[in-house]
Amino acid sequence: MSKVFWLEQRFKINLPAWTVIAPVLAFVLLAIHLVAHPTGALVYSLTAVGLIGAVFSAVHHAEVIAHKVGEPFGTLVLAVAVTIIEVALIVVLMSSSSPEDRAVLARDTVYSAVMIVCNAIVGLCLLTGGLRNYIQGFELEGVKKAVSVLLILALMVFMLPNFTTSLSGGSMLNSQLIFLAVCCLVMYGAFLFTQTIRHRNYFVTELETQSHHSDNMLTIALSGGLLLVGLVTVVGLAKMLSPLIESTLVAMGLPKVVLGIIIAGLVLLPESIAAVKAAYNDQLQNSLNLALGSALASISLTIPVIAIYGVVTGNELILGLSPKDDMMLMVTLLLLMNTLSTGKSTFLQGVMHLVMFATFIFFSIVP
């Protein structure tokens, strides 16, 4: 695979040429969108190509960093980076939405992200890894702790608002929002301390503990910068495509919640590809670290920011799900607890999660 010749010769930077060129070109395309606001079929086609290039380059740079810093820090880099940019995207979209759409945008996006992670990404990882490697093992203690924290956060954020009596319709008082935000940050902080310091061995396999990478610091620094550029570009280009997607959905008579699913799916593409690739290479622990870490970060980092946004601006926020989505979330969490309860996985578990994801998509389109 060709390298960027002058970077390799002068600085010993070991990166394929396309991983440098793709995010730069995609970023230029985003800048053109922001300055000139072009439209047309060709423009949207180039935007989609740029988005795909940015996604694949972001995955590569995340893997370079992950190999260098080791697990579980490597998977944490991509999960947190994507989530921070996802939060920024939600805030930007909320500022330009109608009051009705603004009230549910954060809920729909984060809920969609959790369902995509827990069903689509986990399902694809288990299916791909099971078909390729027959039976795969993972560190049960670490996965159980991640699922337990995810269970608490999901129930507090999406179900508790439906049972409070101060306000109706899934809304919460400012004091309740602030309390919820603090709980999210405390739980996520405790999980990160457990994952990276106190019980790091619960989240890595013996092989991953012994692995190392030989790339120099210049390569790592460049990968870090290009990862950030790639992630910003993914979110930016996804936002540029959202009007076309929304108008298409309206023309097809589909509910607006589908837009949140599509945007969440686009933002989660880098993590999805990285997780499935790790499972294919018999590194299921990496896949689960990335998938579950993404779901945790999506809730724990998004909800506090959105809560502060709601308190400061005075905009109504609806976090409580509908009864149908409550049931879908509970089934997903129960399925996740069951399929990851033994420390081993087969392709059958992946099929179950993918069927659940298909059910989520179908009943979002046909409620």
Residues 72-94: tens digit of each pLDDT? 676 677 777 777 777 777 877 77
What is the model's pLDDT at position 9? 55
**270: nearest Cα among 21, 15, 56:** 56
- Confidence band (pLDDT; 50, 70, 90) for 208? low
* DSSP-H helix ranges across the chain: 5-11, 17-36, 41-69, 73-95, 99-115, 122-133, 140-154, 174-193, 206-210, 217-252, 257-267, 269-280, 284-313, 323-339, 347-365
Tell me 321's DSSP state. P
* Architecture of the domain whose range is 5-365: Up-down Bundle (1.20)
Report the greatest alpha carbon distance in the chain: 67
What is the model's pLDDT at position 350? 94
Is the pLDDT at 61 greater than 90? The verdict is: no
- Confidence band (pLDDT; 50, 70, 90) for 207? low
Is the pLDDT at 71 greater than 80? The verdict is: no
Name the residue with higher pLDDT: 299 or 234: 299
CB 365 within 8 A of CB 254: yes
Is the pLDDT at 8 greater than 70? The verdict is: no
What is the model's pLDDT at position 81? 74
- Percent of the chain exceeding pLDDT 70 equals 91
- Confidence band (pLDDT; 50, 70, 90) for 215? low
What is the model's pLDDT at position 197? 85
Is the pLDDT at 209 greater than 70? The verdict is: no
- Three-class SS of residue 344? strand
What is the model's pLDDT at position 14? 73
- Alpha-carbon Rg for the chain, nearest whole angstrom, is 20
Count of residues making up the chain = 367
Quote the tokens at residue 26. Answer: 């995609």
Is the pLDDT at 279 greater than 50? The verdict is: yes
CB 123 within 8 A of CB 353: yes
CA distance 243 to 248: 8
Lowest-pLDDT choice from 15-24, 146-155, 162-171, 198-207: 198-207
Residues 133-162: what's their mean pLDDT? 92
Phi first, then psi: what are they for 169, rounded to 5°? 75, 20
- Three-class SS of residue 345? strand
pLDDT in tens, 337-348: 999 998 899 899
Residues 214-232: what's their mean pLDDT? 81
- Confidence band (pLDDT; 50, 70, 90) for 3? low
What is the model's pLDDT at position 244? 81
pTM, whole model, 2 decimals?
0.83
Which residues fall within 8 angstroms of residue 267, CB to CB, at 6 or more apart?
Answer: 82, 85, 86, 89, 113, 234, 235, 238
- Confidence band (pLDDT; 50, 70, 90) for 357? very high
Give the position of tokens 């018999």.
Answer: 282
Contacts 24+ apart (CB under 8 A), 180-185: 180/156, 180/303, 180/307, 180/319, 181/303, 181/304, 181/307, 181/308, 182/304, 183/156, 184/153, 184/156, 184/157, 184/299, 184/300, 184/301, 184/303, 184/304, 185/300, 185/304
Is the pLDDT at 66 greater than 80? The verdict is: no
- Confidence band (pLDDT; 50, 70, 90) for 238? confident
